[in-house]
Amino acid sequence: MKTRDVVIFTGKRFKVPQCIQRIDHRYTHGWQVRYGGTKMFSDGSNDGSGAKASLDAATRELIHRIATMPTPSKLQPRPSVSKSTDLPVGISGPLLRQRSGSKVRYASLQVLLPRFGEKPRNRNIYIGSESTYTPARYKQALAKAIEMRQAAEESYRKDELRDRRAGARAMKAALNEARKIASEKSAAKAAGKAPAKKATARR
């Protein structure tokens, strides 16, 4: 999962996952998870000393939500308000075209097929020439375009979910490793401060 650098009011810098926002307003300091709703994780202090612990808690909550909730998709859910037709999102036309070297013009629909992590692909669905175009052929072409778009969206969402959950697993592993290292350092520090046992003199 992508992270970004966030500098809080104390000047301290943190690597913060997407879907987590920093909140610093007067007496409110903490991290807010924004995925499938919102949840605030307060620092528990006004000096920023609890920022790391609250970020860890927010990150674990985000990991849990990604693993158990549907993925909020980046796909456009509905046509833009500026679209001049009532066609579904990702489908436009009919477009009048003419092949190179031909005098015959034909109509087609254009379908935008989203691909996760790649550029979308355009496909044209042939309807008919000026002499063969009919409302029935238009309906057939539209049904095919809708089917292609829906299949592409389903594939996109599956890849999107797989990618986010893989990122969440990597985040969880990194958090667990960081916690283990911190625990080992704390144990080593405590051992170093422990008073040495006095040797018992032999008689």
Give the tens place of pLDDT for each residue, 33-80: 999 899 999 999 889 999 999 999 999 999 999 988 877 777 877 777
Host domain of residue 37: 1-69
Give the tens place of pLDDT for each residue, 130-166: 899 999 999 999 999 999 999 999 999 999 888 888 8
Q: Where are the beta strands (DSSP E) in 26-146?
A: 28-34, 38-42, 91-98, 105-115, 118-129
Q: Are residues 155 and 104 in the same domain?
A: yes
Give domain status of residue 65, yes or no. Answer: yes
> For the chain, how big is the Rg over CA atoms in Å?
29
Q: Are residues 13 and 64 in the same domain?
A: yes
Q: Are residues 4 and 64 in the same domain?
A: yes
Domains of the chain: total:
2
Q: Are residues 53 and 3 in the same domain?
A: yes
- What type of residue is 73? S
CB atoms within 10 A of CB 192: 7
pTM of the model: 0.67
What are phi and psi for residue 5, nearest 5 degrees?
A: -80, 130
Q: Are residues 5 and 55 in the same domain?
A: yes
Give the tens place of pLDDT for each residue, 103-115: 889 999 999 999 9
